[in-house]
C-alpha cells in the first residue's frame, strides 16, 4: 500500500477514530460547544463576585471532563463500542490513553473557548505569562479528570451507576479543588491535596489575574504543555504513511 493510500484509508489509531467521530458531525459539535457556552454565561457575563464566577467555571470544567468521561466510557461499554475496540489488535493501555487524550482534546477546546470569553468579558490583561498560567493548569486538570473519570466508569456496571457515582465524585472533586469548603475537621488533611490539584491552581490564576497579580514563573506549566502538544502530534499523524513504511 502506498503512502497516499494509507492516508486515505482512515484513522490509524483510536485517538484518530475518536477525533474523527467528534469533529466529523458538525451539528453535534456545534450543539456541544453551544451548550458549554450557554452553561458558562452566568459565570462569564453576570455581575457576580469573582470568587463565584471562578467557582462556577471550575464546576463546569469538572463536570465536563470527569463526569463526561465517566458516563462516556459506561455508555461505550453498554452499547458495545468498548468491546469492539478491545477486539482490535491494540493493547488495552493504548486504547485507554487514546480515549483520555481524545476526550481531553475536546474538553480543552470547550473550556479554552469559555476561558477566552471570560478573559475578554472581565478585562483580563492579555499577556504570554497569563496565557501560560491559565493554559497549563487547564491542560493538567482536564487530563487528570478525564483519566480519573475513565477509571471510575470502568469500575461501574451500568449507565445508572455511572451517572450517580459521577455526580458524587464531581462534588468531591470540587471540595478537593477548594471551590466547596471542606469540613473543619478535614481541612488540615485535605489542604495538601487541594494545593496539588491543578483545578485549584487554575482558580487561583484566574482570581490573581483579575486582581492584576503577576503569575510566578515555573517549569511545570511549560513542561505539561510541551508533553500534551507532543502527545497530540504523535497520535494525530500516521507516521507509517509519512515515512512510507509498509
Looking at the domain assignment, is residue 85 inside a domain?
yes
Residues of the chain whose pLDDT is less than 70?
1-10, 212-218, 239, 241-246
Q: Is residue 220 part of a domain?
A: yes
Does residue 18 lie in a domain region? no
Task: Determine, yes or no, domain membership for 20.
Answer: no
**Cβ-proximal residues to 140 (8 Å cutoff; 6+ apart), any chain:** 198, 201, 224
Q: How many CB atoms lie within 10 A of CB 42?
A: 13
Residue 2 lies in a domain: no
Residue 220 grid coordinates: 511545570
Is 12 inside a domain boundary?
no
d(CA 180, CA 112): 23
What was the pLDDT predicted at 158? Answer: 83
Please give the Cα distance from 229 to 184 (Å, whole number). 40
Total domains present in the chain: 1
Residue 216's pLDDT is 63
pTM over 0.75: yes
Quote the domain boundaries for residue 228.
Answer: 35-238
Q: For position 3, what pLDDT does the model report? A: 46
Identify the three-state secondary structure at position 212: coil
Do 240 and 12 meet the contact criterion of CB atoms below 8 Å apart? yes
Predicted local confidence at residue 70, as pLDDT: 94
CA quadruple 173, 177, 180, 185: dihedral, nearest 10: 90
Element (H, E) at 16: helix 14-24
Residue 142 placed within a domain: yes
pLDDT for 238: 77
**Measured CA distances, 192 to 23, 34, 195, 217 (Å):** 38, 36, 5, 21
pLDDT for 185 equals 80
**Would you say residue 6 lies in a domain?**
no
User: Residue 232: what pLDDT?
Assistant: 93
| Residues in contact with 206: Cβ distance below 8 Å, sequence separation at least 6, in sequence order | 50, 54, 57, 115, 118, 134
Amino acid at each position: 500500500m502506498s503512502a497516499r493510500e494509507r492516508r486515505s484509508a482512515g484513522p490509524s489509531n483510536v485517538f484518530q477514530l475518536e477525533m474523527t467521530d467528534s469533529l466529523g458531525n458538525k451539528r453535534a459539535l456545534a450543539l456541544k460547544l453551544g451548550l458549554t457556552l450557554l452553561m458558562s454565561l452566568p459565570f462569564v457575563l453576570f455581575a457576580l463576585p469573582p470568587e463565584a464566577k471562578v467557582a462556577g467555571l471550575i464546576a463546569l470544567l469538572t463536570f465536563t471532563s470527569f463526569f463526561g468521561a465517566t458516563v462516556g466510557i459506561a455508555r461505550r461499554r453498554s452499547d458495545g463500542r468498548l468491546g469492539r475496540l478491545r477486539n482490535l489488535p491494540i493493547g488495552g493501555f493504548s486504547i485507554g490513553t487514546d480515549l483520555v487524550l481524545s476526550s481531553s482534546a475536546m474538553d480543552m477546546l470547550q473550556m479554552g473557548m469559555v476561558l477566552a470569553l471570560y478573559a475578554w468579558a472581565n478585562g483580563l490583561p492579555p499577556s504570554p505569562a497569563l496565557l501560560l498560567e491559565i493554559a497549563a493548569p487547564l491542560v493538567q486538570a482536564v487530563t487528570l479528570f478525564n483519566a480519573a473519570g475513565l477509571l471510575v466508569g470502568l469500575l461501574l456496571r451500568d449507565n445508572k451507576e455511572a451517572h450517580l457515582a459521577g455526580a458524587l465524585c464531581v462534588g468531591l472533586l470540587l471540595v478537593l479543588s477548594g471551590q466547596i469548603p471542606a469540613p473543619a475537621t478535614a481541612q488540615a488533611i485535605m489542604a495538601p491535596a487541594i494545593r496539588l490539584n491543578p483545578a485549584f491552581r487554575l482558580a487561583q490564576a484566574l482570581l490573581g489575574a483579575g486582581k492584576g497579580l503577576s503569575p510566578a514563573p515555573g517549569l511545570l506549566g511549560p513542561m505539561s504543555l510541551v508533553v500534551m502538544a507532543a502527545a497530540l502530534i504523535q497520535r494525530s499523524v500516521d507516521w507509517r504513511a509519512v515515512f512510507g513504511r509498509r
